[in-house]
C-alpha cells in the first residue's frame, strides 16, 4: 500500500519593487551634487595638519550648498515648459533659456550661443538656420512660433550678391555669419593685401573657414 505523497507548498515569493527611472538631466544633477559634496568634505581637511592636505583650496559647507542650489535651479529652469505664446529671443537668451525650446537640447542651445558670439546677432530665422550647424529649415519652422526673430528677408541675407572687393563693412554684415568684427577684418585684409581674386581667397581672412565660406558663397561674386 503506497502512502500519499506529502503536499508540496510553494513559499511566497518576495514582492519585486521597481526602481523609478531617472532622466539624463536628473542623473547629471545627482553626479554634480555628489562631486560638490565630496569637495565640501575634502575642504574639512583644512582643519588637519598641512601634510594631510597640501595646497587644498578651502570650500566651506555654505559655499557648497549655494553651488548645489544654483545647479538645481538651473536644471529646473531647463525643464520648465514654455508658456502659451511665450517667445525667446536667441540674440539675448542664455543657453539655459534656449534649452527650453521644444527638442533643442543642451548641445544645440550651446551652439546657438557660440555662433551668436562668433558671428553677431541673428537677423532672421533664415539667417539662424544657415549659421547654426544642425539647425536646418525644418527645425526652424518648428521653432518659429517660439522665436522672437523676423521671418526675413529684412535684416537677413542680401537678396543680391555682393562683391567682397567693393562692399562696405556695413553691407558685409548682412551676409550670414558675418558680424561687425569679421566684416572689419575682411575690409582690412583687402585694403592691406589686395583684392580677392576668387571666392576661395576669403578663407585667408582669420575667422572664415570652409563651413563659413560655403554659407557665404551663394551671396558673393567677384566683379571685373
In a domain, 3, yes or no: no
Percent of the chain scoring above 70 in pLDDT:
69
Do 212 and 164 form a contact (C-beta atoms < 8 A)? Answer: no
Number of domains in the chain: 3
Taken as a whole, the chain contains a residue count of 224
Domain final position from 58, 78, 98: 78
Read off the pTM.
Answer: 0.49
**How does pLDDT run across 134-177, given as a tens digit for each residue?**
887 788 888 889 998 876 544 455 556 889 999 999 888 888 77
Same domain, 71 and 104: no
Residue 213 CB partners (closer than 8 Å, separation 6+): 199, 200, 202, 203
Which domain does 43 fall in, by range? 24-78
Domain final position from 156, 191, 209: 156
Same domain, 89 and 151: yes
At residue 101, the pLDDT reads 92
Same domain, 72 and 88: no
* Secondary structure (3-state) at 115: helix
Q: Bigger pLDDT: 34 or 200?
A: 200
In a domain, 5, yes or no: no
- Lowest mean pLDDT of 127-131, 181-185, 187-191, 195-199, name the range: 127-131
At residue 21, the pLDDT reads 54
Domain with 143 in it: what CATH number?
A: 1.10.150.320
At residue 146, the pLDDT reads 92
In a domain, 34, yes or no: yes
Same domain, 151 and 87: yes
Mean per-residue pLDDT over the chain, rounded? 77
Residue 202 to residue 114: CA distance in whole angstroms: 22
When pLDDT is cut at 50, 70 and 90, the band that residue 189 belongs to is very high
At residue 27, the pLDDT reads 65
* Secondary structure (3-state) at 147: strand
In a domain, 19, yes or no: no
Provide Rg for the chain, Cα atoms.
29
Nearest CA to 182 among 149, 214, 156, 216? Answer: 216
Q: Which three cell numbers stand for residue 205?
A: 581672412
Same domain, 138 and 191: no
Same domain, 148 and 87: yes
Same domain, 212 and 190: yes
Do 88 and 146 form a contact (C-beta atoms < 8 A)? Answer: yes
Most confident of 58-62, 170-174, 199-203: 199-203
Do 100 and 88 form a contact (C-beta atoms < 8 A)? Answer: yes
Domain final position from 78, 99, 121: 78
Q: Which three cell numbers stand for residue 1?
A: 500500500
Same domain, 120 and 184: no
**How does pLDDT run across 85-124, given as a tens digit for each residue?**
899 999 899 999 999 998 899 999 999 999 888 878 887 8
In a domain, 163, yes or no: no
Amino acid at each position: 500500500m503506497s502512502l500519499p505523497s506529502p503536499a508540496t507548498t510553494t513559499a511566497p515569493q518576495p514582492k519585486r519593487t521597481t526602481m523609478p527611472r531617472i532622466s539624463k538631466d536628473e542623473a547629471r544633477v545627482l553626479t554634480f551634487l555628489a562631486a560638490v559634496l565630496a569637495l565640501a568634505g575634502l575642504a574639512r581637511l583644512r582643519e588637519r595638519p598641512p601634510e594631510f592636505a597640501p595646497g587644498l583650496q578651502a570650500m566651506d559647507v555654505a559655499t557648497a550648498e549655494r553651488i548645489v542650489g544654483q545647479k538645481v535651479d538651473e536644471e529646473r529652469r531647463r525643464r520648465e515648459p514654455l508658456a502659451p505664446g511665450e517667445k525667446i529671443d536667441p540674440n539675448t537668451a542664455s543657453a539655459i533659456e534656449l534649452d527650453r525650446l521644444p527638442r533643442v537640447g543642451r548641445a544645440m542651445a550651446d551652439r546657438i550661443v557660440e555662433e551668436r558670439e562668433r558671428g553677431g546677432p541673428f537677423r532672421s530665422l533664415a539667417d539662424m538656420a544657415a549659421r547654426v550647424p544642425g539647425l536646418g529649415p525644418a527645425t526652424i519652422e518648428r521653432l518659429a512660433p517660439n522665436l522672437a526673430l523676423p521671418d526675413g528677408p529684412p535684416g537677413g541675407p542680401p537678396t543680391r550678391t555682393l562683391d567682397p572687393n567693393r562692399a562696405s563693412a556695413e553691407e558685409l554684415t548682412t551676409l550670414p555669419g558675418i558680424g561687425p568684427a569679421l566684416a572689419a577684418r575682411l575690409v582690412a585684409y583687402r585694403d592691406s593685401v589686395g583684392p580677392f581674386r576668387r571666392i576661395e581667397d576669403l578663407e585667408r581672412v582669420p575667422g572664415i573657414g570652409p563651413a563659413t565660406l560655403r554659407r557665404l558663397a551663394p551671396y558673393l561674386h567677384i566683379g571685373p
